[in-house]
């Protein structure tokens, strides 16, 4: 039989282990019912995340497991489920156009995610931001993939296009089969 002092020591040790395990679980994965003050919650836990970056409310979703892939798309949709099978996919919901997301804002997200480098997938208008980020922070981009990107049109390109109207007419004639 265990004496009272031995029983109390055993109970105290068990309680200490349970409290330590619970604190570790909250720190590593976040508490199930919401974050306790001061508890660290990984920015890469699967699910929806909201954070303020450079004073702009920023939303992103995390899914899958594997190397980190940041997807920039106009709608901030979660991305193809196929990608989540091979990557930890961060679907960055580009802030509304009035907020003018910049390469600096995406850099703030990279720092928030605590990554030295990121792989970027720019889809449609998201390609513009991916190109701007890769141009400004080339050392931070490991791989860059552009899907269904549109060209970036500058004022100089418009002037050149205006001067080449004869070329466009020739191309149209060729495509339509007329001389």
Q: What CA–CA distance (Å, rounded) separates 115 from 5? A: 50
119 is a domain residue: yes
- List Cα–Cα distances, 78 to 5, 26, 50, 93, in angstroms: 57, 26, 14, 9
User: Is 124 inside any structural domain?
Assistant: yes
pLDDT tens figures, 159-168: 555 554 444 4
Find, among 69, 20, 65, 21, the residue nearest to 45 by Cα: 65
Q: Would the pTM of this model clear 0.85, i.e. be above it? A: no
Cα(164)–Cα(116) distance, rounded to whole angstroms? 44
Contacts of 36 (CB under 8 A, 6+ apart): 26
Could you tell me if residue 86 is inside a domain? yes
CATH number at residue 83: 3.40.50.1820
Instruction: Report yes or no on 111 lying in a domain.
Output: yes
**Domain total for the chain?**
1
Residue 173's pLDDT band (boundaries 50, 70, 90)?
very low
Asked, for residue 97, whether it belongs to a domain, the answer is yes
Most confident of 12-26, 37-51, 160-174: 37-51
Per the domain annotation, does 153 fall within a domain? Answer: no
Contact 85, 64 (CB under 8 A): yes
Q: What is the pLDDT of residues 56-102, one digit of tens each?
A: 888 899 999 888 899 987 665 656 677 888 889 998 887 665 555 68
Query: Residue 54 falls within a domain, yes or no?
Result: yes
pLDDT band at 151 (very low <50, low <70, confident <90, very high): low
| CA distance readout (Å), 58 to 3, 51, 124, 148 | 58, 5, 20, 24
Residue 133's domain comprises 47-147
Does residue 8 lie within any of the structural domains?
Answer: no
- At residue 170, the 3 state secondary structure works out as helix
């Amino acid at each position: 039989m265990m004496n009272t002092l031995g029983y109390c020591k055993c109970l105290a040790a068990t309680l200490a282990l349970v409290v330590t395990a619970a604190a570790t679980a909250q720190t590593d994965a976040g508490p199930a019912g919401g974050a306790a003050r001061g508890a660290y919650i990984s920015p890469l836990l699967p699910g929806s995340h909201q954070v303020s970056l450079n004073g702009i409310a920023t939303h992103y979703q995390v899914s899958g497991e594997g190397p980190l892939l940041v997807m920039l798309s106009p709608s901030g949709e979660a991305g193809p489920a196929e990608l989540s099978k091979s990557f930890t996919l961060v679907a960055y919901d580009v802030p509304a156009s009035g907020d003018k997301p910049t390469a600096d804002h995406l850099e703030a997200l990279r720092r928030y995610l605590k990554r030295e480098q990121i792989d970027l997938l720019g889809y449609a208008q998201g390609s513009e931001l991916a190109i701007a980020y890769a141009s400004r922070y080339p050392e931070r981009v490991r791989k860059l993939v552009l899907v269904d990107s549109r060209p970036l049109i500058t004022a100089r390109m418009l002037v050149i296009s205006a001067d080449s109207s004869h070329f466009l007419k020739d191309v149209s004639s060729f495509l339509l089969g007329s001389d």
